[in-house]
Structure 1
């Protein structure tokens, strides 16, 4: 009898031991001698990923990361080919621009790992709601949040002072227009310069009002009241002759260098661009919130940002997930990202001393702190697979209203073209 009991005990202990090994859902990467994963990412992200992998390997020596560097257009092109061929040729994961993720997942949800099911919901309160919404589809997350693009109005403090304009007095878009006229009259600089080949500013002003180019049911927002208000901003500045059209990125940066504009409306990443490409203007720049639209208190918006998706075809899905959770929720890693010119969306990192430090270029003001405070104020925007059509039409609307077309007519025509292309 004693032998029988001993035998049963050993069996129970063996089964229990096997059970304990599997309770982590396969996430214990130490079970594999080598874990080799590949991620597609753009150039600015490569050194941060590689440094994070070095830190991660200290506790996970079997983990090996290969980052394939390519631009966003190449990622989109190769992604599309891989998705259309049932996942063939896709890496383990990819860093994708937020406004394209929902479109991919809508059509190929089985190709993307469900991040919520992998357990990321326990980290949701560590990221701003708008960021979580941007990577979600039908209630589940399909990407791990990374960088963001909180928007500000970068302005030339020296030109404002010369014209007798106080930035703190600019609360509404009408205040902004009136200040622009004073600045143009005194300094000759336009109030706003923008890339006329791109829809960046139009998209920002839509985002400020909590709208993307489409609703969740597929309805176009191009002829909505929000879009009319946005188009009217361009129209009003054209009538007052305070807006400068720069045909492309290089021309836009040149307009900043040549003092052709008093403000630039864009994401926090412009901090690095100004420091690197316009060093002679150190001490002359500052940042303020967006002016508000009539009847709205919102003065915040987002431009860009990216997140990490994992593909179901990966043999190391759980192991890559563990690494990316470490990447996204490590204060040390996110500080490295910030030092590399990226703006993190991980809320706890905003307590870092880096955000409170004065920035010499901006007259020793803590501009990173300003953008950190913006992150929880940004409205959520729904992205769709058809957003590229909306952005294309926004560029046309900008051009038309600057030439005198009535904003309501212009957005109505654009909406008709969108419906024709979709249907």
Structure 2
């Protein structure tokens, strides 16, 4: 029996009281004692990736049917926080998606909200760094999902117009990468998107040098962080350029890619699903390593993003949800093989590392074996301790970013951001 995942678009408001008012109405769920499948509600984002993943997982388990409720990532994380902080247990989703950088914060803040998963999955079957991110006080709570191996995806046809070869793209510095922008602009193309309120690329740039927003003790590492200062140098150049497509949200970002506005996309490997949504662009994309920074210790390898699945302990179908996740995300090589073949979605489930799809060539990405390459790059990513306060660190930096872009002294603003960060985590 092959079922389809239903997708419900949710509009969110920032105010906590309004967030609670838009919680999706309770769905009628069949009792587990009947022959009818149990309906599991999932809160997540990005239907092209996460929605597709649950379609495949759902098709492998006739005991459940999945109601995939889509919202933006920011709205999803805020809504989870608001509901858990309120203590409301009615109409809870069964499964929620939490990004790896936010997971520790949720587990620390709401230690009794999530169902322990040690009895449902074998954590030794997953990449060790993912287990650490979804565990707290010696207990595993999350089911590890995707990796965020970073890459530079580019339009081969646009690069050909400016005389840039695939070989030219393999060992770029950031200065060389930015220099492509002026040439592309002359041909009517933008280099990439740019959102002045989003420093997602900082994650990629920092980890490529072995640095992070915080140090190993969880303290802000802003003022004396040369890699972070180089990030801001690049960000200012993007801000002042005329070769970037300015966007303000995910819709604009994805639209710029699928509409053919931009020549390059630099994100974690999870972005492949979004790129491939532009079916008319099949065979016009390729993948290269990210540009290399000038900071000591810099490499062409990094990670950005990645998320995992958590079962809310007080949801109506918590046990059924845990069993479902264990059977699929924690036990099905077939599922991961299918996801790699169809959408180049790479999980962190180790038994799937030898499946057939790893070696498969991608027609969309001009015949490249991108799954195999991404797996090879993953082993070369510098290790960093992201700690529990990455989100708070980025929030503090975003607060001073407009001042930096307007010419304020960088060291002064970074010191102010450190002070704000310290106040927040206290």
TM-score, normalising length: structure 1: 0.74
User: Could you report, residue by residue, the CA deviation over 1:361-411 in whole angstroms, capped at 9, with x for unpaired residues?
Assistant: 322222233223333334455556644333334445554444444543443
The SS at the match of 1:148 is coil
Higher helix share: 1
Tell me whether 1:113 sits opposite 2:111 in the alignment: no
Tell me whether 1:359 sits opposite 2:362 in the alignment: yes
Residue in structure 2 matched with residue 263 of structure 1 by the alignment: 264
Residue in structure 1 matched with residue 80 of structure 2 by the alignment: 79
Partner Cα distance (1:192, 1:66) in 2: 35
Q: 1:190 to 1:253 in 2, by over 3 A?
A: same
Residue in structure 2 matched with residue 18 of structure 1 by the alignment: none
Residue 346 of structure 1, CA deviation: 1.9
Q: 1:388 to 1:171 in 2, by over 3 A?
A: same
What does 1:66-145 align with in structure 2 at a 5 Å threshold? 66-67=66-67, 69-71=69-71, 72-73=73-74, 75-86=76-87, 88-89=89-90, 90-116=92-118, 118=119, 120=121, 122-124=122-124, 126-145=125-144
The root-mean-square deviation of aligned C-alpha atoms, in Å, is 3.7
Q: 1:314 to 1:379 in 2, by over 3 A?
A: farther
The SS at the match of 1:112 is coil
Range that drifts further, 320-329 or 100-109: 320-329
Partner Cα distance (1:332, 1:408) in 2: 51
Residue 99 of structure 1, CA deviation: 2.4
Residue in structure 1 matched with residue 19 of structure 2 by the alignment: none
Tell me whether 1:411 sits opposite 2:403 in the alignment: no
Residue 227 of structure 1, CA deviation: 2.0
Residue in structure 2 matched with residue 194 of structure 1 by the alignment: 194
TM-score, normalising length: structure 2: 0.74
Residue in structure 1 matched with residue 182 of structure 2 by the alignment: 184
Aligned partners of 1:98 and 1:134 also within 8 Å: yes
Q: 1:64 to 1:110 in 2, by over 3 A?
A: same
Residue 177 of structure 1, CA deviation: 1.0
Q: 1:142 to 1:208 in 2, by over 3 A?
A: farther
The SS at the match of 1:149 is coil
Residue in structure 1 matched with residue 60 of structure 2 by the alignment: 55
Question: Which ranges in structure 2 are unaligned for 5 or more consecutive residues?
Answer: 1-31
Aligned partners of 2:126 and 2:349 also within 8 Å: yes
Partner Cα distance (1:420, 1:304) in 2: 26
User: Could you report, residue by residue, the CA deviation over 1:149-191 in whole angstroms, capped at 9, with x for unpaired residues?
Assistant: 3221112334434444455456776x33135325524753554
Range that drifts further, 254-263 or 96-105: 254-263
- Higher gyration radius (CA): 1
Aligned partners of 1:129 and 1:376 also within 8 Å: no
The SS at the match of 2:308 is strand
Q: 1:415 to 1:242 in 2, by over 3 A?
A: farther
Residue in structure 2 matched with residue 152 of structure 1 by the alignment: 151
Aligned partners of 2:43 and 2:93 also within 8 Å: no
User: Could you report, residue by residue, the CA deviation over 1:8-52 in whole angstroms, capped at 9, with x for unpaired residues?
Assistant: xxxxxxxxxxxxxxxxxxxxxxxx845947342334545643553
Partner Cα distance (2:355, 2:408) in 1: 48
Residue in structure 2 matched with residue 3 of structure 1 by the alignment: none
Range that drifts further, 233-242 or 102-111: 233-242
Q: 1:64 to 1:56 in 2, by over 3 A?
A: closer
Q: 1:69 to 1:265 in 2, by over 3 A?
A: same
User: Could you report, residue by residue, the CA deviation over 1:337-358 in whole angstroms, capped at 9, with x for unpaired residues?
Assistant: 4435643222333433333333
Q: What is the total number of aligned residue pairs between the two structures?
A: 382
The SS at the match of 2:420 is helix
Tell me whether 1:370 sits opposite 2:368 in the alignment: no
What does 1:257-336 align with in structure 2 at a 5 Å threshold? 261-277=262-278, 279=280, 281-293=281-293, 294-313=295-314, 320-328=321-329, 329-336=331-338
Residue in structure 2 matched with residue 25 of structure 1 by the alignment: none
Aligned partners of 1:227 and 1:411 also within 8 Å: no
Partner Cα distance (1:359, 1:140) in 2: 38
Partner Cα distance (1:171, 1:399) in 2: 33
The SS at the match of 2:266 is strand
Residue 247 of structure 1, CA deviation: 3.5
Question: Which ranges in structure 1 are unaligned for 5 or more consecutive residues?
Answer: 1-31, 58-62
Q: 1:249 to 1:79 in 2, by over 3 A?
A: closer
